[in-house]
Amino acid sequence: MTNQRIKGIAVSRGIAIGRAMVLGREALQVKHYLVAPAQVEAELQRLQRGFTLALAELRRIQLRIEGDPASAELHALLDVHAMLLEDEALREGAEAVVRARRYNAEWALLHQLGELAREFDAMDDSYLRERKADLEQIVGWVVRCMRMPTDSPSGSTPPPGPLGQALSAMQPPQTAHADAGDGAASPPAQPFIVVAHDLGPADMLHFRLDAFAGFVADTGGQTSHTAIVARSMDIPAVVGTREASRRIHQDDMLIVYADVGLVIVNPDAQTLQAYRLLQEELAQVRQRQQSLLHTPSVTRDGQAIALLANVELPGDCTAALRSGAAGIGLFRSEFLFMGRHGALPDEQEQYTAYRDALLAMEGLPVTIRTVDIGADKALDGHAVARHRQEHSAMGLRAIRWSLSSPEMFRTQLRALLRAAEHGPLSILFPMLAQLSEIRLVLQLLEQARQQLRDAQVSFGPVRVGAMIEVPAAALMIEQFLEHFDFVSIGTNDLTQYTLAVDRADESVAHLFDATHPAVLRLIAQVIAAGRSCGKPVCLCGEMAGDPQLTDLLLGLGLQSFSMHPAQLLAVKERVLAADTAALQDWAQSVLQSREPQSLLAQHQSPLPAAPMPDATAPAATD
């Protein structure tokens, strides 16, 4: 069958064309048996040895990529996996099962994985929810390590994952990425594209060393670590395809159109030629955009526009600098809190992470959002089922969770204040909706300052801001601006709450529309209020990184955008071509339209765009 189309999630950009290297699903099959009481201690030692070997191998991989700026996100991913390996909840939970039920070590580990996986599933935040995949990957790694002969030296490399096994049998050609726009030589006509159910950190390392053209994965989402690494390495990738590894056969010809999350299996000659032409056009577009890296972000009518980066981890700051970001508009602090199961990060650990991010940005401003998690019950593992029934998107999450635990919150605030000595730092508070919350947040911030003074610990100045992601906050924006130095619009949650659409629920996800008239009017109201009182307004949701919406946001008066680093140059190109004064009337007509999508579609960009090869190709999924 030719031209079979598989839809997934767009997480990077570019087009890859090549032959499929399909990896087996490698389901984690383990034996289930009971051990004799006298063998319990030996089983515990085998479990501990598996963790030790897995952690050692992670550190070895990190050493292999040490100093490579292109691998900063992969290094950060390995840090997260190491943190999960060191987390007592996984290892000690499995040990308790071995002692209490006398399960063999592998069975006990999978049992504990199931317990923790249910907790991750209950989290509302998509970034935290997708960390379950990281947990599954490291459990597979530990199991492989446990299967090593007991007489192997402690420094031995564990059995490779599915990609490593495939490479040992068939070495793919050394080739540049098929869509490279940096002047690299054209790749061979048929490089390999990896198709897998999932890809772990060791597999991702092969993309750094063996230069596959791209990859397709059944699992993953926008914030999965495979997606983050794909963007950082500029690899065309489509994830979340569900059944691609079953539907695609070894050596099938593939087109991976990463920008729109599309995979075409066995294209006919006409389709293949069309996408090769589009591939060349996109490469030219990227070369053009790359030349803008050091160009100041100023519109044609002289408006300076701040283009900032969203980051997940301190290691992501390297990619932000490489993209030309003027600073960090949103640093998510959740990574410090995930998978802790009651053992929350202390002040020193948090201070070190925030300090490292500030130092990495070399004096550019950094905005750090206080912890935004799904619910307190999801962290400690209690009452998970009840939590899911109560729909945590509207429950005890974000600032509500922080305010429910003032000492924990003050710990984070003290760490942030201390880190502010190392660079310009702003603190961003998520999901505020009540004036009483605002007063309490500011009161706790002042208490944190006083605690540092009393302890004679130095700290720096900070700006304070509020996330506008609840409709109530947008409608009360004037009162919010009385208390804060700036505000940031989180369009993902603002859209979700305004339209009553859970964007993680596939049954209603098609109703999620950030250009809905109600959403656009709330955004415009916040921008106008900020300009009226002379306080900065930043937009840090997915809309900020969509070049098709740049003109609209500029016409509404937005002067600060924060996005994934990979999106920054495309948005900058739009900014440089824009005349904000000329866009104002058009933006108002969009705002007043009953169907703004039609006006947006009709809007003629001054920039050349690479057309879709045919009308049947789907739109982007962001």
Q: Within a domain: residue 621? A: no
CA–CA dist 522, 473 (Å, integer): 10
Same domain, 54 and 151: yes
Structure tokens at 150: 């007991």
User: What is the rounded average pLDDT for all residues in the chain?
Assistant: 82
Q: Annotated binding residue at 136?
A: no
Domain residues for 334? 301-602
Percent of the chain with pLDDT over 70: 77
Same domain, 393 and 522: yes
Q: Annotated binding residue at 492?
A: yes
Reported as a single tens digit per residue, the pLDDT across 406-438 is 999 999 999 999 999 999 999 999 999 999 999
User: Which of 135, 156, 177 is the C-terminal boundary of a domain?
Assistant: 156
Q: Within a domain: residue 27? A: no
- Assign residue 208 the CATH number of its domain: 3.50.30.10
Q: Annotated binding residue at 332?
A: yes
Same domain, 173 and 86: no
Percent of the chain with pLDDT over 90: 50
Same domain, 378 and 465: yes
Confidence category of residue 21, pLDDT binned at 50, 70, 90:
confident
Q: Within a domain: residue 614? A: no
Q: Within a domain: residue 279? A: no
507: pLDDT strictly greater than 50: yes
- The secondary structure of 457-496 as a DSSP string is -----EEEEEEE-SHHHHHTHHHHHTT-SEEEE-HHHHHH
Taking residues 479-501, report their average pLDDT: 94
Distance of CA 26 to the CA centre of its chain: 25
Nearest to 179 by CA among 236, 254, 105, 243: 236
Confidence category of residue 505, pLDDT binned at 50, 70, 90:
low
Same domain, 515 and 574: yes
Phi/psi of residue 228, each to 5°?
-60, -45
Dihedral of the CA atoms 506, 508, 510, 512 (nearest 10)?
A: -110
Q: Which residues participate in catalysis according to the annotation?
A: 225, 540
Reported as a single tens digit per residue, the pLDDT across 593-607 is 998 988 998 886 555
Q: Annotated binding residue at 369?
A: yes
User: Which of 156, 177, 198 is the C-terminal boundary of a domain?
Assistant: 156
- The secondary structure of 54-111 as a DSSP string is HHHHHHHHHHHTTT-GGGHHHHHHHHHHHHHHH-HHHHHHHHHHHHHH-B-HHHHHHH
Q: Within a domain: residue 31? A: no
Reported as a single tens digit per residue, the pLDDT across 547-596 is 999 999 999 999 999 998 888 999 999 999 999 999 999 999 999 999 89
Same domain, 370 and 342: yes
Q: Annotated binding residue at 130?
A: no
- Assign residue 76 the CATH number of its domain: 1.10.274.10
168: pLDDT strictly greater than 80: no
Q: Within a domain: residue 353? A: yes
Helix H segments across 250-300?
A: 269-290
Taking residues 168-179, report their average pLDDT: 44
Burial of 504 (0-12, 13-18, 19+ CB in 10 A): middle
Confidence category of residue 485, pLDDT binned at 50, 70, 90:
very high
544: pLDDT strictly greater than 80: yes
Q: Within a domain: residue 619? A: no
Same domain, 105 and 214: no
Taking residues 112-137, report their average pLDDT: 73
173: pLDDT strictly greater than 50: no
The pTM assigned to this predicted structure is: 0.70
| Number of domains comprising the chain | 3
Q: Within a domain: residue 291? A: no
Dihedral of the CA atoms 344, 82, 373, 518 (nearest 10)?
A: 160
Same domain, 192 and 336: no
77: pLDDT strictly greater than 50: yes
Same domain, 174 and 97: no
Q: Which of 296-300, 343-347, 545-549, 607-611 is modeled with the greatest confidence?
A: 296-300
DSSP conformation class of 610: P
Q: Annotated binding residue at 503?
A: yes
217: pLDDT strictly greater than 70: yes
Same domain, 197 and 151: no
